[in-house]
Structure 1
Amino acid sequence: MYAPNRMEVAKVANSGDEDDLVVEEVKNNYEEDDDDQNENPSSPPPQSQLKGKNLSWYKLRRYDSLDIESRKFGSTHHSKNGEQWSVILHLAFQSIGVVYGDIGTSPLYVYASTFTGGIKHNDDILGVLSLIFYTITLIPLLKYVFIVLRANDNGDGGTFAMYSLICRYAKVGLTPSEEASDQDVSTFQLEMPNHKLRIASKLKSKLENSRFAKFFLLFATMLGTSMVIGDGVLTPCISVLSAVGGIKEATDSMTEGRIVMISVAILVLLFTFQRLGTDKVGYTFAPIILVWFAFNAGIGVFNFIKYDPSVVKAINPAYIVDYFKRNKKDAWISLGGVVLAITGTEALFADVGHFSVRSIQISMCTITYPALILAYTGQASYLRKHNLDVPDTFFKSIPGPMYWPMFVVAVLASIIASQAMISGTFAIIQQSLSLGCFPRVKIIHTSKKYAGQVYIPEINYLLMVACVAVTIGFKTTQKIGNAYGIAVVFVMSLTSAFLVLIMIMIWKTNIFLVISYILIIGSVELLYLSSVLYKFDQGGYLPLAFAMVLMLIMFVWNNVYRKKYYFELDNKVSPEMLQGIVADTKTSRVPGLAVFYSELVHGIPPIFKHYVANVPALHSVLIFVSIKSLPISKVPIEERFLFRRVRPNDLNVYRCVVRYGYTDAHNEEEPFERMLVERLKDFVREDFMSPVSAEESNDGNNEHEEDIANRAEFEKQRQEVAMARDIELVDKAWRGGVVHLVGEHEVIAGKGANIGKKIMIDYAYNFLKRNLRQSNKIFDIPHKRMLKVGMTYEL
């Protein structure tokens, strides 16, 4: 027998039907064993708790209403096999070409960006080398590789992944579509805070009860997302310009204008290449980046031995203290150059969905980190003997015979450097789109072998245009570097803030470890943030300008999306009204199956009433499909569909909630229509296979066992006949033809709305809606069998 879990029964108890007292009795019975349930909230209550209650699951379902999400069918357990080492190593190899291009090309410009006024004291080189060493060790290696990567959401990373993780553990989402049964999805992985852990419970409670906290979390998520996209614009510009500029060492005929135009041509080719997908791009670029790291490490060792092996003493942090004592404010300002050594670090986390945590950890620890440390150490050794070469440190420090090979590899590596943030941008936009925070764009899954690798044509085109504009407008790496630093450190600081929430509320980390993290990592990031903000007027405004534009788009879309959802919720069709419409003699039933799409999870959308008023005919089988995005990365297919009958059964009307994670493809294995009908038939079978109430309602005093057995057998045969009849009706309706009814909502500001609301809804939102993809394109609905139903919503 299927035993409802405690949260499902509590949900039923609030359904508002006449026999609430019976259900409330069961609910209270569960709460007697509250501590056990808190230990494992997703486990069903013991069968013994239902004995003597004269209550069947059939009766519980009878009290269910259309406001309550359906009971699901199929497997509730989804085991994920451990990754094979061959797959991990393949992904580790790919990740070198995609993830590390940005941080790997930082040696091109770090020393030049740090010592903008020249080297004033030879030991300043040791101070900066020490800063670089500890910054790379603390932020990319310790923070991201060993801590932040653990905060992934079922393998997906980025700001939105952390936000969705928090939304699962605390009800901080602003759209009221949460349902008790969401927690039964195997990838939800929810373990509520134990009451003994007061800090976790107290923080969770404060977040849930504060409307300001909910809005602030969403605002911070949008800001972080916008900054990462800003990184995706600035990374190609600074990397390509730095590499191409190296040709000035070989010829004087290469002017600044020519360098800019060559860089623009390279950028256009790079974005054209994106349509091949991360899989092919990774395998193409990985060997080049491996060669790049090998050259950097080799030249670093050569310079270290030839010029000044004593720079190894920079491992002593005392040189950092001396550097600040000597240079004071100038040392603080120079941190804006040092932070460029860790640009692209956020890509480690944003791109984890394209690869895996283990693969990125392996490639970072074995290849990237050692190569970068050797490269910066070698450049420091060279600068100790050649202080005046600091503006062109990278190319000046290359041994003569290696210049041209290194130049070619540097140009190729700089092209690849852009790939990390471009891939990360695609990943986070896919996440924000699914959570209702970004306008609809086309998501193309580029690899059947590796999940999570996506390409977004519209975003790719916009990034290309922005990169070309920035490159032509700024022309030099110094101005772009000022802008770049702000974007990098801002995102890192936001990631740390989210991570602290996750540590306390989800991981339940010891509070002293949390405080240690804040004091060490947090203080370092705030110091860097204060430095990069100093150069706000020298190009630093650019990423903030990008972020403001993107946040405006995201805010408008999300705000109107929520208003529209609340409008549908307030004007939904009640169960009684639906039954009256279907049973109305004026409404004829025609052969076939109709699928009515909606984003409303809690009931039937008001557009259905509008449709019936104008077309008084309904198909023999009607399915209301609600599309729902869960705050998780993936929903297993066998757990995706939730069905619910509209009573009485002979109406042949069903509700279906189709649940997707924010990285799920909407048409991955078979057409949605076929999958929907097959799952509906599975639901009908399971619905009739539910235990009848005869066994549970029998008091055992006045009836003989033989009578009970006969009645049970008769009931079983009756149900089998009814099940076969309903399945045949579904098959017959499917053969008769499927019509897809899609709501086409015209959204306008309500009467008396202020000017700001009118601009946001009537102009901004509708402009985005008109120029982006509609739901029929997302689900690949055949145009010949699609019917759009229009209705105006006054918000």
Structure 2
Amino acid sequence: MVDSIFCTMLLLLQKKGVSQDLILAYKTLGVVFGGLVTSPLYVYPSMNLTNPTEEDYLGIYSIMFWTLTLIGFVKYICIALNADDHGEGGTFAMYSLLCQHANIGILPSKKIYTEEESLTSTQPVVAGRPGRLRRFIERSIIARRLLLLTAILGMCMLIGDGILTPAISVLSAIDGLRGPFPSVSKPAVEGLSAAILVGLFLLQKYGTSRVSFMFSPIMAAWTFTTPVIGVYSIWRYYPGIFKAMSPHYIVRFFVTNQTRGWQLLGGTVLCITGAEAMFADLGHFSKRSIQIAFLSSIYPSLVLTYAGQTAYLINNVDDFSDGFYKFVPRPVYWPMFVIATLAAIVASQSLISATFSVIKQSVALDYFPRVKVVHTSKSKEGEVYSPETNYMLMLLCVGVILGFGDGKDIGNAFGVVVILVMLITTILLTLVMLIIWGTHAVLVALYFVPFLLLEGTYVSAVCAKILRGGWVPFAVSVALAVVMFGWYYGRQRKTEYEAANKVTLERLGELLSAPGVHRVPGLCFFYSNRQDGWLTPVLAHYIRNMRSLHEVTVFLTLRYLLVARVDVKDRVAVRRLGPSGVYGCTIHYGYADAIDFEEEDGLAGQVVGALREHVGGEEAARVEAARAAGVVHVRGKMRFHVGKDTRLFDRLLLGFYEFLHSTCRSALPALGIPLQQRVEIGMLYKA
């Protein structure tokens, strides 16, 4: 009924010319805000209150109201959503944005090259006079590494959030069975919750758009019914609840409870669950649609729902352990149980989608081992699905439910990731303000200082719960950080070896003119990851052993830029490399772009088309003839040779990198290249 009314209203508005953002805002309910709007299911049960009083509840509601207002509305809706990178959000998108405007990345900052530009230019495009902060970070390798580590930790914490949100949301909803039926055991609740989550993860392959279309009616019903019950509870139990919006109730709460009040912050922070996922999910929708949905539906719904819960608990002070279902009137208990369960399933979607987004960003920027990333929408490049990530999340979510078995214990772990990732966003957003936006220092201080104090206080409270379940997100984050660092270290050592043993264009000419080396018919794509005007050592290894090179050879580089998207006209850049029939080609892609060469004429067709435009005449005909003679894709497969003189640190890290490299996906299958056209040339690099 609610869905029908909403859709009819949208159709009428659309006929009158109202923006499509309204329809998109409706769809965001099913994906972006799930974790945020279902937080009333588990906030009060996670607090472990002891003999609470009316003043305690008023103080708690005041804390939640101002947390939602300051962090949810002011920080994310008004400020953070503007720090997008071509429509992509999240900590890695902000790091990418910083790398584009300053030379602060660990890996060389990347830009789009034209035919006239030298391939030795690797500086980012920056405007204006650099400030002292930017100059300091650019000159300090320690500061640059800390910045990268901060972005990595933010991404890892968000993934930890993606593990815990589905677990605590579904488990808290299904636990409602034990109210009317006390005989239902906890293992039965855990088993049913795990089964529901498995079903949800199996749906992910159909894409965010299809899932959101199915889920939006559920979340619309949830955001409509819970505040209605909240208003009823306010009228029946405590009509004066909104006086708690005055901040002085927060002061009274801490003066009265002191250390105990500080400890309870670990539970109140859960009211803002899902705000970071809202930012990370930006690539799936749009800034305006998220803002419309939040201000018109989510924010008022949460304010009224928490007010109703608090009003009920003031008159039933000992019911906090089941703070949601107890405040639901008996006549509508079962309908609300069904809606709550379905809403909890939807809540999981926002974090799952956000996890797919950040994994795709880190893979594209070569900070994470390659996993399969599928674009599930032809119109929105930000909608992605990763099978490996999906099933790993599924196993971890089920493991958390079966391992903890209690929403209170999961809440201890949950608060840690919720606030730490928000603190990281605050730090990165401050750097964006100073380095990119050029915001006045006074305005930056008005943002940074209050949010640092607010979130820093929350961090101090949740860290006390590390030993009571909070270690879980840290363990996951550390494991992911080790994987990312091991991959990054191996890639860096590989780059260093190739730089020391590079093949220049002059050296290439010498190799081709050596006795016994022949040019054979056909078109060869020789893959390289260098954009510095020189080629990798595996080329010399190939020519010396094969004693030949194809008549037309294109040294091809797939270059992922630190931007979200690259215009089609700028994607393929070609140039001559000196020896006859030898060319260089760079294909530029942003981390939000799809690489799909199975359509149209394939990879060979796109590159040959660019070559025809570049060379023309007889040379173009020669390229076409070589393509007709046969196409082969040559890829070097380099491994590190760890000798007895290799340092122990390198033995461990490079051994770990080799393990990751051997288990991750190859780059070529992702390009749709026929198996019979692939050739791999092995070579050992000395560690």
| TM-score, L = length of structure 2 | 0.94
Cα deviations by residue, 1:414-469 (Å, 9 ceiling, x for unpaired): 11111111100000010011111100000100011222100000010111111111
Cα deviations by residue, 1:746-792 (Å, 9 ceiling, x for unpaired): 22335522222102212x11221221111111222211111111111
Q: Tell me the CA shift for residue 88 of structure 1.
A: 2.4
Aligned residues of 2:100 and 2:125 also touching (Cα < 8 A)? no
Within a 5 Å distance, the mapping from 1:708-747 to structure 2 comes to 723-747=616-640
* CA gap 1:638/1:236 in 2 versus in 1, 3 angstroms: same
Give 1:682's aligned residue.
613
**2: CA distance, partners of 1:464 / 1:129:** 34
Cα deviations by residue, 1:705-739 (Å, 9 ceiling, x for unpaired): xxxxxxxxxxxxxxxxxx31111111111111111
**2: CA distance, partners of 1:559 / 1:538:** 34
2:537 is aligned, of 600, 603, 606, to 606
Q: Kindly provide the amino acid, as one letter, of the partner of residue 192 in structure 1.
A: V
**1: CA distance, partners of 2:114 / 2:92:** 19
Within a 5 Å distance, the mapping from 1:109-508 to structure 2 comes to 109-114=42-47, 116-176=48-108, 178=110, 181=113, 192-195=126-129, 200-508=130-438
1:778 is aligned, of 662, 670, 684, to 670
Give 2:552's aligned residue.
621
Give 1:787's aligned residue.
679
Aligned residues of 1:177 and 1:601 also touching (Cα < 8 A)? no
**2: CA distance, partners of 1:180 / 1:206:** 26
* CA gap 1:769/1:189 in 2 versus in 1, 3 angstroms: closer
Q: Kindly provide the amino acid, as one letter, of the partner of residue 656 in structure 1.
A: C
**1: CA distance, partners of 2:39 / 2:529:** 45
Cα deviations by residue, 1:487-533 (Å, 9 ceiling, x for unpaired): 01110001110111110110000111111112212210101011000
Aligned residues of 1:183 and 1:190 also touching (Cα < 8 A)? no
Within a 5 Å distance, the mapping from 1:620-659 to structure 2 comes to 620-648=551-579, 651-659=580-588
Q: Tell me the CA shift for residue 576 of structure 1.
A: 0.8
**2: CA distance, partners of 1:161 / 1:768:** 24
Q: Tell me the CA shift for residue 221 of structure 1.
A: 1.2
Within a 5 Å distance, the mapping from 1:519-538 to structure 2 comes to 519-538=449-468
2:523 is aligned, of 589, 593, 618, to 593
Give 2:26's aligned residue.
93
Q: Tell me the CA shift for residue 584 of structure 1.
A: 3.7
**2: CA distance, partners of 1:183 / 1:435:** 24
My pick for the range that moved more, 290-299 or 90-99, is 90-99
Q: Kindly provide the amino acid, as one letter, of the partner of residue 684 in structure 2.
A: T
Aligned residues of 1:118 and 1:390 also touching (Cα < 8 A)? no
Q: Tell me the CA shift for residue 184 of structure 1.
A: 11
Aligned residues of 2:161 and 2:418 also touching (Cα < 8 A)? yes
Give 1:106's aligned residue.
39
Q: Tell me the CA shift for residue 94 of structure 1.
A: 1.8
Identity of aligned residues (%): 41
Aligned residues: 664
Q: Tell me the CA shift for residue 269 of structure 1.
A: 0.6
Q: Kindly provide the amino acid, as one letter, of the partner of residue 315 in structure 1.
A: M
* CA gap 1:365/1:474 in 2 versus in 1, 3 angstroms: same
**2: CA distance, partners of 1:759 / 1:547:** 20
Q: Tell me the CA shift for residue 679 of structure 1.
A: 1.5
**2: CA distance, partners of 1:340 / 1:776:** 43
Q: Tell me the CA shift for residue 85 of structure 1.
A: 6.1
Q: Tell me the CA shift for residue 231 of structure 1.
A: 0.5
* Helix, strand or coil at the partner of 1:604: coil
**1: CA distance, partners of 2:332 / 2:488:** 53
5+ long unaligned stretches in structure 2: 1-16
Q: Kindly provide the amino acid, as one letter, of the partner of residue 133 in structure 1.
A: F
Q: Tell me the CA shift for residue 659 of structure 1.
A: 1.5
Aligned residues of 2:110 and 2:123 also touching (Cα < 8 A)? no
**2: CA distance, partners of 1:355 / 1:296:** 25
Aligned residues of 2:53 and 2:317 also touching (Cα < 8 A)? no
**1: CA distance, partners of 2:111 / 2:446:** 37
**2: CA distance, partners of 1:147 / 1:177:** 26
Q: Kindly provide the amino acid, as one letter, of the partner of residue 420 in structure 1.
A: S
**2: CA distance, partners of 1:326 / 1:586:** 90
| TM-score, L = length of structure 1 | 0.81
**2: CA distance, partners of 1:164 / 1:177:** 9
Q: Kindly provide the amino acid, as one letter, of the partner of residue 139 in structure 1.
A: I
Aligned residues of 2:110 and 2:124 also touching (Cα < 8 A)? no
**2: CA distance, partners of 1:393 / 1:346:** 25
Aligned residues of 1:193 and 1:505 also touching (Cα < 8 A)? no
Q: Tell me the CA shift for residue 571 of structure 1.
A: 1.3
* CA gap 1:252/1:559 in 2 versus in 1, 3 angstroms: same
* Helix, strand or coil at the partner of 1:593: strand
**2: CA distance, partners of 1:334 / 1:182:** 57
**2: CA distance, partners of 1:776 / 1:467:** 32
* Helix, strand or coil at the partner of 1:126: helix
5+ long unaligned stretches in structure 1: 1-83, 685-722
Q: Kindly provide the amino acid, as one letter, of the partner of residue 665 in structure 2.
A: R
Within a 5 Å distance, the mapping from 1:25-44 to structure 2 comes to none
**1: CA distance, partners of 2:432 / 2:663:** 37
Q: Tell me the CA shift for residue 207 of structure 1.
A: 0.9
* CA gap 1:750/1:683 in 2 versus in 1, 3 angstroms: farther
* Helix, strand or coil at the partner of 1:663: coil
How well do the aligned residues superpose, as a CA RMSD in angstroms?
1.9
* Helix, strand or coil at the partner of 2:554: strand
Within a 5 Å distance, the mapping from 1:567-582 to structure 2 comes to 567-582=497-512
* Helix, strand or coil at the partner of 2:183: coil
* CA gap 1:345/1:750 in 2 versus in 1, 3 angstroms: farther
Aligned residues of 1:174 and 1:562 also touching (Cα < 8 A)? no
**2: CA distance, partners of 1:317 / 1:777:** 58
Q: Tell me the CA shift for residue 194 of structure 1.
A: 2.4
**2: CA distance, partners of 1:302 / 1:327:** 30
2:594 is aligned, of 651, 665, 668, to 665
* Helix, strand or coil at the partner of 1:388: coil
Q: Tell me the CA shift for residue 385 of structure 1.
A: 1.2
**2: CA distance, partners of 1:211 / 1:117:** 47
* CA gap 1:184/1:510 in 2 versus in 1, 3 angstroms: farther
Give 1:4's aligned residue.
none
* CA gap 1:568/1:659 in 2 versus in 1, 3 angstroms: same
